[in-house]
Amino acid sequence: MDQVRCLSCGTCVLVEKYSDQHTSVQWNRDAQAACTEMSNKPRAHTCHALRTAIDDAVASGALSVSTRDVDVRTRGRTLA
């Protein structure tokens, strides 16, 4: 998973992109509390500014789309 920073509030989350339609976002408590869109709407499930940041990261090549050809946890790296 790669870090992506929200364009609005600057909070950082971990993201794995599997296809145009499938994105996994890992939030932690600090990120949820810092997100202005999520904290103002208790039932919100997404942040539109973060969604834009993820799309921009994919478009720029900073975040790649995983093909799941390797172990997702290690992204093909060998753990020591």
What pTM value is reported for the model?
Answer: 0.74
Each residue's pLDDT tens digit, 32-78: 888 888 777 767 677 889 999 999 999 999 998 876 655 556 665 65
pLDDT attached to residue 14:
93
Residue 42 and residue 9: Cα distance in Å, rounded? 17
**Is the predicted pLDDT of residue 9 greater than 60, yes or no?**
yes
Residue 32 and residue 15: Cα distance in Å, rounded? 14
CA dihedral 10, 29, 73, 52 (to 10 degrees): -30
Residue 17 and residue 23: Cα distance in Å, rounded? 5
pLDDT attached to residue 68:
62
pLDDT attached to residue 77:
63
pLDDT attached to residue 65:
86
